[in-house]
Structure 1
Amino acid sequence: MNRYWEIDALRGLMLVLMTVTHLPTRFTDPLGQPFGFVSAAEGFVLLSAFVAGLVYTRIGQRQGVDSMRRAFWRRALKVYMAQAATLLFLFTIVGTVGTRIDQPAVTNLLSYYLADPSEAFVFSLLLVYEPALLDILPMYIFFMLMSPWVLAFALRHGWTGVVVASATLWALAQFGLSEWLYALAARHLGLPVPFHEMGAFNAFAWQFLWFAGLWMGASRNAPDAKPFRFSNWLVALAAAAALYGFWWRHHGINGQAPFGGDEQMNLLFDKWQLGPLRIVNLVVLGILAVRFGPAFMRRIPRMHGLEAMGSASLPVFCAHLVAVLLVLAFYGDSQTARPWWGDVLLLAAVLGWLYAVARTALWRRRRARDKNDGAPSVWPD
């Protein structure tokens, strides 16, 4: 099936924003959550789920559920291998450099691994131990493994039951479901990994965003599928809410913490728990993107750089982690370790590296397609 270059460009933009956010520079805070209290991670997960729903539903309809399931599993295995390779890079290259120069940004990041390397290595390959920055791909793998069963159910019985179950699980996650399950595992299975070393993202909350995107993508394959449309009053309301969120984020005195030191109120916008007001902020931005995005994209030149990065999202994501981890190892996590022009050069070098990785990945993909007599690859690559 034909790719939508607009979606690839958006995914590329999300990758650039992630890179700017994760690299410790003077641009980290101003460009973190640039559109309100929503980060690039939400956009990237939602777009990836949309593409997965669009592509794999078509495979299921044309080749059967078994073929769809195998396609999901192949993708999950590919992501797992990328996660394992990135972990190996972290534990060897970054860990060695960071410990030799006694870099706190690295020793703090790897505190559990440094305390018990063999145990941490095994549990990292089991996707239980998830060091910071390397905790989004395990969640993605979990979603990919669950998706064929959810899609198969939805194709037979509709999406109502899926949406209700997903929303219920999200609500339970807001009230400590993850902590409760961890306590059971620690008590009855002797799980040694500390809870805070199991990744910042609450997968039980974020699955709601994934399956919402999966539903939106799958719905595009219906014979009577119509473009998403919203009434004018809803678009106006979304615009007002989005503008207020943007103003609050950039002109409020608390920056990315909407309620300052009030931790309980900040949970309403919490990224890791996918708080309810964060979802509202994402929804209003999504309404505006659907309403005005297509016309906007038609009026601007194609962004081939972003498009290339979005087309090769997995290798580019891993490449951005490599760059960020190396910067942490050599410079630490200070955002003022370099002059402003040094930050500009660093960002330019890293973004150039990501583009080179993207072009190389696309070249390899074309070669593989030519060897397979022109058979197209599955789009989510």
Structure 2
Amino acid sequence: MTSSVSQRPPSRSRGAPGAGQAGAAAPRRARDHRVDALRGVALLMMFVDHIPQNVLNRFTLRNVGFADAAEIFVLLAGYASWLAYGRNFDRVGLRAGLGRVWRRCARLYVFQAVMVVVTTATIRAWRSFWPVPVDFLEPELAHGLSAFWRVMFLDALPSNLNILPLYIVLLAAFPLVYLLMRRSLVLTLALSGGLWLLINLDPTINFPNWLDPDGWYFDPLAWQFLFTLGACASVLAGRRGGSLPAVGWLRGLCGAYLVLSAFEVFPWSLWGLPDLRPFAIPAPDKSVLAPLRLVDVMAIFYLVQSSHGARGVAEGRFGRLMALFGRHSLEIFAAGTVIDLYARLVFTSFGSGWMLQVAVNVIGFSILWGLATVLDRRRVRQKMQAATEPGREMTTPPVSGLKRAH
């Protein structure tokens, strides 16, 4: 999860998934910051959404659509995984490529373990001074550490610490997705979509979660379809310099669907407005990635990735700021999760008045911006050092964004 997306036209010298390679070198095109910028927006929305008392979460995606930032995050994980790992398999071979994927999974696990330890230790220490509701940790962890090993082995997933485990599983399965894509994109989507449909028909099929009898909150067997859709979209976009084909009627249909979604989901009562929902559709199940959520996020992604206007916005000052966060998504996500924890504790212990609202958000966003800036400067220095090393050609990874994970 770091670094800008660099799209290159496919080489005809080697085979590609379905028909046409998305991985060989060719003259480099200008960078496309849309994926990194969209990922950055999703990261900041997740940071806001994970603080229930934060007034800013009234303005995030979940208030105007069936999908939210989590769906965007997983979709872009699949998109960037093809660029970072799929094309790498073509260059270095399957064995070396697998090693890179496993190292990435190990790094993700380290970040997950650190967040679990920090969360548990912080809440236990905070309780020594101020009361903390038991729901800040599952009761099994709140009252004892005998089950802590289950969390470290991903047999138990506490709330707000369940996204990286999903990404670990999806990335670990990516080599299989890659082999299927090499054979046929249609076959890959058919198998992946069939599994997603099965889980929607029978939601009891899930990974076990000791803390929840229903299993993982993000069922990997369902969410793998969104990840796979992202990877396949990356191949198709790679053949067109990073953009998906702009089909007028399809763009109109996506726009109409998103308008309907906004009317159905908008919290009318929260704003003291009359309910204007045309159908009053119940909230679609997030655990199994219900169809309404899936279509919603795919519509957003298609409109962004097929729009020259969106590309222009991503090149602007705001877009580049969002891309700064998106290039370092693992670190920003982990830091945001820890800041969220402290923000929730502060609001719970001292109230959520305007002064604290301003303080928490300004401090939180400043920390994330400072971290992203430091990481980006280090990235630039490393690239410059690589360029000046004798006998070593400077290469820019297609996407570090998910190269550095979830």
Class of the TM-score when normalised by the shorter of the 2 chains: 0.7 to 0.9
Assess, with a 3 A threshold, how the Cα gap between structure 1 residues 202 and 266 changes in structure 2: closer, same or farther.
farther
Structure 2: unaligned runs, 5 residues or longer: 7-30
C-alpha distance in structure 2 between counterparts of 1:82 and 1:258, whole Å:
43
Cα distance, 1:209 vs. partner?
Answer: 0.4
SS of the aligned residue for 1:266 comes to coil
Partner of 1:307: 323
Deviations 1:163-218 (A, max 9, x none): 122112111222334x3556xx7xxxxx8x23258542122111110111011123
Normalised to the residue count of structure 2, the TM-score between the two structures is 0.79
C-alpha distance in structure 2 between counterparts of 1:326 and 1:194, whole Å:
23
C-alpha distance in structure 1 between counterparts of 2:383 and 2:37, whole Å:
22
> Among residues 254, 259, 269, which one is paired with 1:243 in the alignment?
259
- 1:135 lines up with 2:162 in the alignment: yes
Partner of 2:362: 348
Assess, with a 3 A threshold, how the Cα gap between structure 1 residues 258 and 123 changes in structure 2: closer, same or farther.
farther
Structure 1: unaligned runs, 5 residues or longer: 186-190
C-alpha distance in structure 2 between counterparts of 1:246 and 1:98, whole Å:
40
Partner of 1:326: 342
Deviations 1:252-291 (A, max 9, x none): 5589x999xx9xx635x22222111112222322332233
- 1:88 lines up with 2:104 in the alignment: no
Cα distance, 1:360 vs. partner?
Answer: 2.3
- Mean Cα deviation higher: 50-59 or 2-11: 2-11
What is the root-mean-square deviation of aligned Cα atoms in Å?
3.1
2:103 partner letter: R
Assess, with a 3 A threshold, how the Cα gap between structure 1 residues 144 and 338 changes in structure 2: closer, same or farther.
same
Cα distance, 1:230 vs. partner?
Answer: 4.1
Q: Is the 8 A contact 2:199 2:288 kept in 1?
A: yes
Partner of 1:210: 227
C-alpha distance in structure 2 between counterparts of 1:167 and 1:232, whole Å:
26
Cα distance, 1:93 vs. partner?
Answer: 2.0
Cα distance, 1:219 vs. partner?
Answer: 3.7
Partner of 1:282: 297
C-alpha distance in structure 1 between counterparts of 2:289 and 2:37, whole Å:
25
Partner of 2:212: 195
Partner of 1:188: none
C-alpha distance in structure 2 between counterparts of 1:275 and 1:333, whole Å:
36
Mapping of 1:1-381 within 5 angstroms?
Answer: 2=6, 4-23=32-51, 24-98=53-127, 100-104=129-133, 107-119=135-147, 121-155=148-182, 157-177=183-203, 179-180=204-205, 193-196=210-213, 199-221=216-238, 227-250=243-266, 252-253=268-269, 266=282, 269-292=284-307, 294-298=308-312, 301-303=316-318, 304-332=320-348, 337-369=351-383, 373=389, 376=396, 379=400, 380-381=403-404
Assess, with a 3 A threshold, how the Cα gap between structure 1 residues 42 and 285 changes in structure 2: closer, same or farther.
same
- Mean Cα deviation higher: 277-286 or 368-377: 368-377
Partner of 2:16: none
Deviations 1:119-152 (A, max 9, x none): 2x21111112111111000000000100012202
C-alpha distance in structure 2 between counterparts of 1:14 and 1:226, whole Å:
20
Assess, with a 3 A threshold, how the Cα gap between structure 1 residues 194 and 323 changes in structure 2: closer, same or farther.
closer
Deviations 1:312-339 (A, max 9, x none): 11010000001011122232299xx322
Following TM superposition, the consecutive aligned residue runs of length 4 or more in structure 1 with deviations greater than 6 angstroms are: none
C-alpha distance in structure 2 between counterparts of 1:170 and 1:254, whole Å:
34
C-alpha distance in structure 2 between counterparts of 1:122 and 1:166, whole Å:
32
C-alpha distance in structure 2 between counterparts of 1:150 and 1:65, whole Å:
13
Q: Is the 8 A contact 2:138 2:211 kept in 1?
A: no
Q: Is the 8 A contact 1:238 1:285 kept in 2?
A: yes
2:229 partner letter: A
C-alpha distance in structure 2 between counterparts of 1:219 and 1:117, whole Å:
48
Q: Is the 8 A contact 1:173 1:205 kept in 2?
A: yes
Cα distance, 1:251 vs. partner?
Answer: 6.1
C-alpha distance in structure 2 between counterparts of 1:181 and 1:46, whole Å:
20
SS of the aligned residue for 1:348 comes to helix
C-alpha distance in structure 2 between counterparts of 1:238 and 1:361, whole Å:
36
SS of the aligned residue for 1:134 comes to coil
SS of the aligned residue for 1:118 comes to coil
C-alpha distance in structure 2 between counterparts of 1:241 and 1:65, whole Å:
41
C-alpha distance in structure 1 between counterparts of 2:237 and 2:248, whole Å:
23
Assess, with a 3 A threshold, how the Cα gap between structure 1 residues 140 and 251 changes in structure 2: closer, same or farther.
closer
- Mean Cα deviation higher: 321-330 or 132-141: 321-330
C-alpha distance in structure 2 between counterparts of 1:168 and 1:254, whole Å:
38
C-alpha distance in structure 1 between counterparts of 2:136 and 2:216, whole Å:
14
